Structure 1
Amino acid sequence: MEIDLALAPAARMTLNQLRLKGQRSIHFAKESDSRRMNILKSLLTIPSITTCYVVKGLNRGSEGAARQLCVMATVSELSPSEQYKVIFDLDENFLAADRLTLGRQLRSRQNKTQVIFHHLEPYQEQLLALPDAFAWAFARGGRWRLALRSLDLRIKHLP
């Protein structure tokens, strides 16, 4: 998911307003259906470009392999002439593999210095709620995927 850095503060404010009292972050899978739809409607007002990578054909338990394919695809789409700040949802199970893949991909593209990446918890970066919600709705299908129709959504199938 890509958002203009100039729009990030306003987007964070929107997300903070959506959090319930005592809630450190929004985790879409843990919300009720009615709250999910309200959150989704609010999130769709935030200008963003979202790429949904679809990985099929891997065995159960291959989440790590699927994640690495998505990390590689993300880096491959970065323009060498631009600067990026990339933030991944922190999952300690994949942190070492992510760093290895990111380093290898960036070195091969000759643009390592133009990309800064971080792994953060959702409460540390509220914007992580956007891809969480969009991915959940896309994967759920039906009315949830239909709700994404106003989103600038690009679907890419990975081998």
Structure 2
Amino acid sequence: MNDFYVDETKARSYLVAAAAVPDRGKPAVRRAVRGLLQGAQRSIHMKTESRARKHAIALAIAGLRDRGVEVLLYDAGRAGTERDRRRRCLAHLVDDVVDRDGRHVVFDLDDSLRSWDRQQVIDLCRPKGPSARFTYDHVHRHHEPLLALPDVVAWCWAAGGEWRTLVRPVVAEVRRID
């Protein structure tokens, strides 16, 4: 069974990252992410880190592939409204959660999207019937260290170049969503 941790970036296109973490590896992965925090830092958010820290964090996250972590990327480009792009990404995410034995999905908390996301997940799961049985929450990144996984990978992927190369080992799939 896997839990999925989901975040997005809107830097160059609308990119949703979903980090699948197997139940058996979750404690070790959570310890590894907490180990990346410095001083009084409560969470990792790539846009606020220095270049050297970004590099070290990206390498550490890529190394979690050995713990079974895989990140799925859904790139909806720039066409359509933000909610339209998000819905298209969520449709593919729901399929992948079901196909990959997902048990729980944790979205990075955005109060403006919480109720909208919930309705989308309900609507997207309904036609799948009992096979689409998973729970989901919206949680602030300060309360769930594993939300750093999709944040780091999405930021690096959107930045491109060397950043994308650093996280490529943990990226299992990239889908262009039209």
Q: TM-score, normalised by structure 1?
A: 0.91
What percent identity do the matched residue pairs reach? 27
- Going from structure 1 to structure 2, the CA distance change for 1:116 and 1:40 (only over 3 Å counts) comes to same
Q: Does the aligned pair in 2 maintain the 1:80–1:111 contact within 8 Å?
A: no
Is residue 2:20 matched to residue 1:2?
Answer: yes
Give the secondary-structure state (helix, strand or coil) at the position aligned to 1:18: coil
Deviation per CA, 1:97-142: give whole Å up to 9, x if none.
1000001111111037720111101111100000000000000001
- Going from structure 1 to structure 2, the CA distance change for 1:109 and 1:10 (only over 3 Å counts) comes to same
**Which residue is 1:53 aligned to?**
74
With 126-135 and 105-114 compared, the bigger mean Cα shift is at: 105-114
Give the secondary-structure state (helix, strand or coil) at the position aligned to 1:87: strand
AA aligned opposite 1:106: C
Is residue 2:112 matched to residue 1:117?
Answer: no
Give the secondary-structure state (helix, strand or coil) at the position aligned to 1:114: coil
**Which residue is 2:119 aligned to?**
100
Q: 5+ residue gaps in structure 2?
A: 1-18
**Which residue is 1:74 aligned to?**
93
Give the secondary-structure state (helix, strand or coil) at the position aligned to 2:35: helix
Q: 5+ residue gaps in structure 1?
A: none
AA aligned opposite 2:51: D
AA aligned opposite 2:92: A
Q: Report which of the two has the higher share of strand.
A: 2
Deviation per CA, 1:55-87: give whole Å up to 9, x if none.
12425xx33222222111100223369351111
With 125-134 and 1-10 compared, the bigger mean Cα shift is at: 1-10
Give the secondary-structure state (helix, strand or coil) at the position aligned to 1:155: strand
Paired residues, number: 157
Following TM superposition, the consecutive aligned residue runs of length 4 or more in structure 1 with deviations greater than 4 angstroms are none
